[in-house]
Amino acid sequence: MPRSSSPRRPIVVGLLLIGAAVGLLIADHASTGRGPVSVALSAMVGPLHRAISAAGHDTRALWSHYVALSEVHEDNATLRARLGELEERAASVDGLRAENQRLRALLELADTRKDLRLRSARVVGRSVSDFFRVLKLTLEVDPQGEDLVDTRGGADLAVGMPVIAPGGVVGQLRSVDGDRAEVLMLTDLRSAIDVVLETSRARGVAVGTGEPDRYAARLEYLQRNEATAIDERVVTSGDDGRYPAGLVVGRVTSVKPQAHGLFQDAEVEPFVDLSALEEVYIVLGPSGLTADGSELQREKVPASAPAGGPR
Amino acid sequence: MSVALALLAGLMGLCVDLFVREAWRLDAWSPDFMVLVILWLGTTRTWTQGAVIASALGLIADGFAGSPAGLHMLHALLLFYLSRGLSSRVLFQGFIGRMLLGLVGGLTGLFLFAALGKLVLPDGQVALRLTELVVPRIVVVVLFVPLGFPVLDRLESTFVRQPERDVL
User: C-alpha angle A132/A136/A137, rounded to 5°?
Assistant: 150
The pLDDT value recorded for residue A307 is 39
Q: For residue range A151-182, what is the model confidence (pLDDT) as tens digits?
A: 566 678 888 999 999 889 999 998 888 888 88
What confidence category does residue B18 fall into, taking pLDDT thresholds of 50, 70 and 90? confident
Report the distance separating Cα B58 and Cα B60, nearest Å.
5
What confidence category does residue B66 fall into, taking pLDDT thresholds of 50, 70 and 90? confident
The residue among B58, B44, B16, B14 whose CA lies nearest residue B152 is B44
Report the distance separating Cα A32 and Cα A22, nearest Å.
17
Report the distance separating Cα A184 and Cα B139, nearest Å.
86
What confidence category does residue B166 fall into, taking pLDDT thresholds of 50, 70 and 90? low
Report the distance separating Cα A69 and Cα A175, nearest Å.
64
Report whether B70 contacts A36 (CB < 8 A): no
CB-based contact B81 A63, cutoff 8 Å:
no
The pLDDT value recorded for residue A42 is 78
One-letter identity of residue A25: L
The pLDDT value recorded for residue B53 is 92
Residue B164 or B89, more confident? B89
Q: Which residues of A touch B (CB under 8 A)?
A: 1-4, 9-10, 13-14, 17-18, 20-25, 27-29, 34-35, 37-38, 41-42, 44-46, 48-49, 52-53, 55-57, 59-60, 63
**ipTM greater than 0.90, yes or no?**
no
Mean pLDDT computed over every residue of chain B: 83
The pLDDT value recorded for residue A270 is 93
Cα Rg of chain B, angstroms: 16
Averaged over B63-77, what is the pLDDT?
Answer: 85
With contacts defined as CB-CB under 8 Å, which chain B residues touch A41? 59-60, 62-63, 69
Report the distance separating Cα A41 and Cα B67, nearest Å.
10
Helix axes B71-89, B33-44, angle to 10 degrees: 40
Q: CB within 8 A of B44, min separation 6: which ones?
A: A2, B50, B152, B153, B156
Report whether A128 contacts A255 (CB < 8 A): no
Reported residue count of chain B is 168
What confidence category does residue B123 fall into, taking pLDDT thresholds of 50, 70 and 90? low
- β-strand pairing of A248-257 with A203-208: unpaired
Q: For residue range A219-252, what is the model confidence (pLDDT) as tens digits?
A: 989 888 888 888 899 999 988 888 998 899 999 9
The pLDDT value recorded for residue A308 is 38
One-letter identity of residue B26: L
With contacts defined as CB-CB under 8 Å, which chain B residues touch A27? 69-70
Low-confidence ranges of chain A (pLDDT < 70): 1-5, 32-34, 67-68, 70, 128-131, 140-154, 296-311
The pLDDT value recorded for residue A311 is 34
- Residue-wise over A64-95: b if at least 16 C-beta within 10 A, else e? eeeeeeeeeeeeeeeeeeeeeeeeeeeeeeee
With contacts defined as CB-CB under 8 Å, which chain A residues touch B66? 38, 42
Residues facing A121 on adjacent strands: A280
The residue among B91, B8, B4, B5 whose CA lies nearest residue B42 is B91
